Amino acid sequence: MTKTFVVAEMALREIARRRGVLAILLIFPLAFYLSRRDSHAGQSIRFVCLGIGWAMSTAALFAGSAARAVEPRLRLSGYRGSHLYLGRLAALWTVGLLLSAPYYVLIRIDQEHVRYGAIGLIMLLTVAVAAPFGLALSAALPRELEGMLVLLIVVGLQMMMDPADSASRLLPFWFSREIGTYAVDHTDGGYLTRGLIHAAVCLAALLAVVAAASGYRLRQRSHLRFVARR
Amino acid sequence: MRHDTWLDALAGELRRHGVAADTAGNVLAETAAHLWESGDDPLRAFGPPQAYAATVADSVRLAPPRRAPGGPVRLEVLGISKRYGRRTVLREVNLTVRAGEVAAVVGANGSGKSTFLGICAGLVSPDRGEVRVHGALGYCPQGGGTSDFLVPDEHFLLVGAGRGMSRTEARDGGRAGAAALDWDPRGRTQARHLSGGTRQKLNLVMAGLGDPDVLLLDEPYQGFDQGSYLDFWQQVHRWRDAGKAIVVVTHLLNTRDGVDTVLDLTPREALR
Full DSSP string of B65-91: PPPP----EEEEEEEEEEEETTEEEEE
pLDDT of residue B269: 62
pLDDT of residue B69: 57
Q: What is the DSSP string of A168-228?
A: GGGSTTHHHHHHHHHHHH---HHHHHHHHHHHHHHHHHHHHHHHHHHHHHTPPPTTEEEE-
Q: Which residues contact B234 (CB under 8 A, 6 or more apart)?
A: B180
To the nearest whole percent, how much of chain B has pLDDT over 70? 90
Interface with A, mutate which of B124, B134, B158 (most A CBs under 10 A):
B158
In the predicted model, what is the mean pLDDT of residues B29-49? Answer: 80
CB A59 within 8 A of CB A132: no
Does some domain include residue B40? yes
In the predicted model, what is the mean pLDDT of residues B22-27? Answer: 79
CA distance B174 to B27: 33
> What pLDDT digit, counting tens, does each position of A165-197 carry?
888 889 999 999 899 999 988 898 899 999 999
CB B152 within 8 A of CB B191: yes
What residues of chain B, 167 to 226, have a C-beta less than 8 Å from chain A?
190, 206-207, 209-210, 213
Does some domain include residue B33? yes
Range B229-235, long-range pairs (CB < 8 A, 24+ positions): B229/B55, B230/B55, B230/B58, B231/B180, B231/B181, B231/B182, B232/B181, B232/B204, B233/B59, B233/B257, B233/B258, B234/B180, B235/B177, B235/B180, B235/B181, B235/B204, B235/B208
pLDDT of residue B15: 67
Domain that residue B54 falls in: 3-60
Q: Can you give the three-state secondary structure of B16-29, one letter per residue? A: HCCCCHHHHHHHHH
Q: In angstroms, how far is CA A139 from the centroid of its own chain?
A: 14
CB B108 within 8 A of CB B27: no
> What pLDDT digit, counting tens, does each position of B99-155 carry?
999 999 988 888 889 899 999 999 999 999 999 999 999 999 887 789 999 999 999
Does some domain include residue B253? no
In this model, does residue B271 exceed pLDDT 70? no
Q: How many helices (H) and strands (E) does chain B have?
A: 10, 8
Q: How many CA atoms lie within 13 A of A217 on its CB side?
A: 27
CA distance B149 to B18: 44
> What pLDDT digit, counting tens, does each position of A43-57 carry?
888 889 999 999 999
At residue B97, φ and ψ (nearest 5 deg) are: -125, 130
In this model, does residue A220 exceed pLDDT 90? no
CA distance B247 to B177: 18
Give the number of beta-carbon pairs within 8 Å between A and B: 101
- pLDDT band of residue A40 (cuts 50, 70, 90) is confident
Interface with B, mutate which of A2, A22, A76 (most B CBs under 10 A):
A76
In this model, does residue B272 exceed pLDDT 70? no
pLDDT of residue B132: 96
Q: Among B23-32, B51-60, B92-101, B207-216, name the one with the lowest average pLDDT.
A: B51-60
- pLDDT band of residue B61 (cuts 50, 70, 90) is low
Does some domain include residue B43? yes
pLDDT of residue B6: 85
Does some domain include residue B109? no
CA distance B48 to B252: 17
Q: How many CB atoms lie within 10 A of CB B33?
A: 14
CB A63 within 8 A of CB A14: yes
In this model, does residue A230 exceed pLDDT 80? no
pLDDT of residue B135: 92
In this model, does residue B64 exceed pLDDT 60? no
Provide the mean pLDDT of chain B. 85
Q: Which residues contact B242 (CB under 8 A, 6 or more apart)?
A: none
pLDDT of residue B44: 79
CA distance B75 to B261: 13
A chain contacts of residue B163, beta-carbon cutoff 8 Å: 77-78
Contact (CB<8Å) A227/B130? no
To the nearest whole percent, how much of chain A has pLDDT over 90? 61
Residue with the larger pLDDT of the pair B87 and A6: A6
CA distance B81 to B91: 4
CB B160 within 8 A of CB B152: no
Report the SS3 class of residue A17: helix
pLDDT of residue B68: 53
Amino acid A81 reads: G
pLDDT of residue A174: 93
To the nearest whole percent, how much of chain A has pLDDT over 70? 99
B chain contacts of residue A77, beta-carbon cutoff 8 Å: 138, 159, 162-163, 206, 209-210
Number of domains present in the structure of chain B: 1
Q: Residue length, chain B?
A: 272
CB B261 within 8 A of CB B101: yes
In the predicted model, what is the mean pLDDT of residues A122-137? Answer: 96
- pLDDT band of residue B28 (cuts 50, 70, 90) is confident
Angle, alpha carbons B30-B32-B33 (nearest 5°)? 65
| Top-confidence range, A152-161, B89-98, B222-231 | B89-98
In the predicted model, what is the mean pLDDT of residues B32-57? Answer: 79
Contact (CB<8Å) B159/A74? yes
**ipTM score assigned to the predicted complex:** 0.88
Q: How many CB atoms lie within 10 A of CB B13?
A: 20
Provide the mean pLDDT of chain A. 91
pLDDT of residue B231: 80
In this model, does residue A5 exceed pLDDT 90? yes
At residue B72, φ and ψ (nearest 5 deg) are: -65, 150
